Chain A
Amino acid sequence: MSTAGPLLQVEKLSKHYSVGSRGLFRRSGGTIRAVDDVSFHLRVGETLGLVGESGCGKTTTARSILHLVQPTGGTVRFEGEDILPVFAAGARPDVLRIRSRLQYVFQDPTLALNPRWTIGETLREPLRIHWPGRRDQWEARIAELLGLVGLEPQHAWRYPHEFSGGQRQRVGIARALAVEPRLLILDEPVSSLDISVRAQILNLLVSLQQRLGLGYLYISHDLASVRFVSSHVAVMYLGKLVEMAEVDAIFARPRHHYTRALLSAIPVPDPDSTQPRIALQGEVPSALRRPAGCPFHPRCPAARTVCREVEPRLEEDEFGHRLACHNPA
């Protein structure tokens, strides 16, 4: 499998929103760079954990890849094919071919399932769209999917409100798997679930990946879960990637000061732990008024003059991290 190129290759992906009122009397606003010049790639069987605080652009990145929001710039190659122009052109057979192989799992399954459809109807929909000629296989496939995610075939007749949160997320995963995708984009799939249920869903995701040979783009702000499922980690801050490396490298030797602060915030299950916390100063700046130079410099404990003036570029360091920092730790 590794002989082929990457499953997903994202190059210089950007999504800018122009905001502000076109009011009668005044004209205010600017541009929010929700996703700015983001590049990464992902191979079959790998999981890239995309982490960062709320509002840093993780979800927008994911939805731009799927063209659910229209990116401002950049390219996305999926299995070598430049897919954004295909979505933009909108030719049905081409769009369907890509959509069936690139699926999305939502953060809150309660919102992502049509409350007035049974689970069976929900699972039948992707089949109706993508396998219109295989009507006789639909029901068998639905039963198979339910089994795959640890539910019973008779659950197909129930409605979403009859399930627990964890079961609903299993349905969400089953729906994404329905038409045999190669890549799942998991948008905080466990953050709306109880701690006890999280582990079950994460185990399910890991075992599905091994059985089906899927690639995952795993979006989360929960670093403990990222460490569990990911093979690589990319850290985002204010719409930009600041550090990217293999999961062990990131956790063993975080080099960007933002990554270090994030990692130090992971709770340690030991009340006597003396691990120091790096408390960041200040708030995340408004995306409308992004600081000049390194966007992290106002909160960075190691900021120097150059950080205020020159924006660091994402470059490979001597430990194999890709890093955007003038003064790494």
Chain B
Amino acid sequence: MGTLRYILRRLFFCACLVVGVSLILFALINAIGNPIEILLAERPGMTDEIVAEISRYYGLDGSVTDRYLTWAGAMLQGDFGTSIIYNQPVGGMLVTFGLETLKIQVPGILIALLASVGASVLAATRQYSRVDFGVISAAMLGHSLPGFFVGILLILVFAYWLGILPSYGAYSTRSMLMDSEIIDGLWHMVLPVSMLAFFNTATLTLLLRASLVDTLRQDYITAARAAGLPERRVVLGHALRNAFIPVLTYLGILFGLMLGTAPVTETVFTWPGLGALYIMAIQQLDYPLIMGTTMVITVMLVAATLLTDIAYVLIDPRIRLG
């Protein structure tokens, strides 16, 4: 089967998946309640007419099916609806908050990738040495510590004790650092990115080291040595590329799950990203916002999985799609 046909078939199933997720989610939100009830609990004493008026205004008066179809129809035309709490178009909010999330998640993964390749090569080429045990122990520790704990520790040390890095937010509210928006933004990114990079490095290192140790024992590696290839090129050229396949799977999941881990990071650092927005939307049952955020998460995860499968073929010629 051709690669293109495979991709088209996969895309069709991905679309079905996204529709399914939206259906289930919409039903679940409605099972919990509706935002008017929360509004009523906060401001008791509203008359039934006002409640009916608000319901009509936000389109909450129709049946669940009608409302889903309206939402889905608008969504297909690129309209995510209007947030009930913020009274802003959800689409615009997703972009603004999403960019903030990408700003810390992408560097967090890329730094981890570089660091874990370095640490794994260091450890795997010196298997069972002190260096190796050191790397494994550190990675185990980093993998086992909860992310928020590391985040709080970072805040304690660098923001509270040393006072050299900001502990919350993406920008300074009063005066920008050195009067530069870019430097100020980067300064605020350091701690959240460190927390993400720390955790990702640990996990990637555990995976890559094990895979590399296994690959370095293969006969075709010995063959490369017997042919006279310098050890550096044996490791970096032959072994690393072959050892990378299992890591690639995880990397795909990591990109897809970016928004799954975002709520924790963004809560710890009060980061104005999608994760924080998601939490807020759920607390308020702001269903257009919940739906919008979830759709982004779903599409990213599905796309990451698909891209991983396609990347496999590029790295590993033995894998045939079908």
A contact set with B: CB distance below 8 Å:
63, 66, 68, 92, 95-96, 99-100, 103-104, 106-108, 111-116, 118, 125-126, 129-130, 159, 161, 175
In the complex, chain B residues whose CB is within 8 Å of the CB of A92: 230
Cα-based distance from A68 to B222 in the complex (angstroms): 8
Say yes or no: B317 contacts A159, CB within 8 Å.
Answer: yes
B67 at the interface (CB under 8 A from A): no
B42 at the interface (CB under 8 A from A): no
B219 at the interface (CB under 8 A from A): yes
Partner of A115, one of B222, B224, B318: B318
Say yes or no: A108 contacts B219, CB within 8 Å.
Answer: yes
Partner of A116, one of B219, B223, B229, B315: B315
Cβ-closest chain A residue relative to B223? A112
Say yes or no: B229 contacts A111, CB within 8 Å.
Answer: no
Say yes or no: B219 contacts A129, CB within 8 Å.
Answer: no
8 tightest A-B contacts by CB?
Answer: A99-B228, A112-B219, A111-B219, A104-B226, A114-B220, A126-B227, A106-B219, A96-B228
Size band of the B side of the interface? 10 to 19
B296 to nearest A CB, angstroms? 35
Cα-based distance from A112 to B222 in the complex (angstroms): 8
Q: Mark B214-249, 1 if CB is under 8 A from A, else 0.
A: 000011101111111110000000100110000000
Cβ-closest chain A residue relative to B220? A114
B53 at the interface (CB under 8 A from A): no
In the complex, chain A residues whose CB is within 8 Å of the CB of B317: 116, 118, 159
Cβ-closest chain A residue relative to B224? A125
Say yes or no: B223 contacts A106, CB within 8 Å.
Answer: yes
Known contacts A112-B219, A116-B242; decide if A68 and B318 are in contact (CB<8 Å): no
Say yes or no: B218 contacts A111, CB within 8 Å.
Answer: yes
Question: DSSP class of B's interface residues: helix, strand, loop or mixed?
Answer: helix
Say yes or no: B230 contacts A116, CB within 8 Å.
Answer: no
Partner of B227, one of A63, A107, A125: A125
B contact set with A: CB distance below 8 Å:
218-220, 222-230, 238, 241-242, 315-318
Cα-based distance from A68 to B166 in the complex (angstroms): 53
Say yes or no: B318 contacts A159, CB within 8 Å.
Answer: yes
In the complex, chain A residues whose CB is within 8 Å of the CB of B224: 114, 125
Known contacts A106-B219, A111-B220; decide if A66 and B226 are in contact (CB<8 Å): yes
In the complex, chain A residues whose CB is within 8 Å of the CB of B226: 66, 68, 99, 103-104
Cα-based distance from A99 to B230 in the complex (angstroms): 12
In the complex, chain B residues whose CB is within 8 Å of the CB of A66: 226
- 17 other contacts beyond A68-B222, A107-B219, A115-B318, with CB at 8 A cut-off? A66-B226, A92-B230, A96-B228, A99-B226, A103-B226, A104-B223, A111-B220, A112-B219, A112-B222, A116-B242, A125-B227, A126-B227, A126-B228, A129-B229, A130-B227, A159-B318, A175-B223
A146 to nearest B CB, angstroms? 17
In the complex, chain A residues whose CB is within 8 Å of the CB of B315: 116
Cα-based distance from A92 to B229 in the complex (angstroms): 10
Known contacts A112-B220, A116-B242; decide if A68 and B225 are in contact (CB<8 Å): yes
Cβ-closest chain B residue relative to A97? B228
Cα-based distance from A9 to B2 in the complex (angstroms): 56
Known contacts A115-B318, A116-B242; decide if A99 and B219 are in contact (CB<8 Å): no
In the complex, chain B residues whose CB is within 8 Å of the CB of A126: 227-228
Cα-based distance from A111 to B222 in the complex (angstroms): 10
Cβ-closest chain B residue relative to A98? B228
Cα-based distance from A114 to B245 in the complex (angstroms): 14
In the complex, chain A residues whose CB is within 8 Å of the CB of B316: 116
Cβ-closest chain A residue relative to B217? A111
In the complex, chain A residues whose CB is within 8 Å of the CB of B225: 68
Cα-based distance from A96 to B227 in the complex (angstroms): 8
In the complex, chain A residues whose CB is within 8 Å of the CB of B241: 116
